[in-house]
Amino acid sequence: MSGRPVIVDCDPGLDDAIALLLALASPEEIDLLGITCVAGNVPLAMTERNARIVVELSGRRDVPVHAGCPRPLLRPLNTGERVHGKTGLDGYDWPAPSLPLADAHAVDFIIATCLAADDGAITLCPVGPMTNVATAIVKEPRILPKLREIAFMGGAALVPGNVTPVAEFNIHADPHAARIVLESGARLTMFGLDVTHKAITTPERLDAIRGIGTPAAAAAAAILTFYDRADIERYGARGGPLHDPCVIAYLLRPALFSGKECHVAVETESELTMGQTVADWWGVTGKAASCRVVTGIDADGYYALIRERLACL
């Protein structure tokens, strides 16, 4: 394959599943080197299982799935079954996966894959808590020159949080790991609630996905219908925000998104604001920009891309 070399680090999770399907359906643009799993939306035993289920659904058994860290660096594990269900993929009757886990620990896979690559080659896509990625950076900082970019779903720059008044789930789940990543010096692109809450799965968009008629699209429509129930109640919108696939859509169609370079810090001391991503939007601190914060999206184009790729599976 000749696509962009990518590792997706995830905690499936309903929206993670859609992100994985989008990547797995795009082999010409994305050379998916592997999927690494972390505890987050549900415990690790479920996230690695769910990743293998999605890989099998896509027919891409060539993509290895690696299990990683079972808990955050310092804080207790706090999962999201209220949104994603007990299994993390509630809403559809999934068969048990037959694809085995790859042998290597996710952190070791990230390190080995990066060190074997040319400088500036690898794109890391964390769409869950950043425990695996931060651990890899600390264990082997020589991976940093190998990275083209870390494009991640997490944070909230200018909008409220979704797990505390100021913090987004992925960052709050392991704020110390997020701080390590955001202070790493790598090129960073952040897809936080500022942009994902503009990507709403309306009934019309769900019907369009369901109408594709493929097994992958049927599964996607079912889990998105389940996923929407909590967010519709909370936010009073016609559908829920589809977070994680924004990262993969950006790799495929960067023109769908817009944002701004600024300095972003992660709060790790105060329980009141733990996990807040503090974006210096107007440059008042004088600190150099460290991250591109994405705030704009062509939502119709985003869902058109998802429909196009789901139809390929």
- Tokens representing 128 are 């869950």
Inter-residue contact 40 to 75 (CB < 8 Å): no
The 3-state DSSP class for residue 53 equals helix
Rounded Cα distance between 187 and 77, Å, is 28
Using N-to-C axis directions, what is the helix angle for 14-24 and 299-310, rounded to 10°?
70
- Which is nearest to 153 in space by CA: 136, 140, 169? 169
3-class SS string, 245-292: HHHHHHHHCHHHEEEEEEEEEECCCCCCCCCCEEEECCCCCCCCCCEE
Rounded Cα distance between 28 and 58, Å, is 15
DSSP state of 27: T
Rounded Cα distance between 248 and 1, Å, is 17
Residues in the chain: 313
- Beta partners for 258? 296
Q: Which residues are catalytic?
A: 243
- Decide the pairing of beta strands 277-280 and 257-266: antiparallel
- Which is nearest to 172 in space by CA: 159, 163, 183? 163
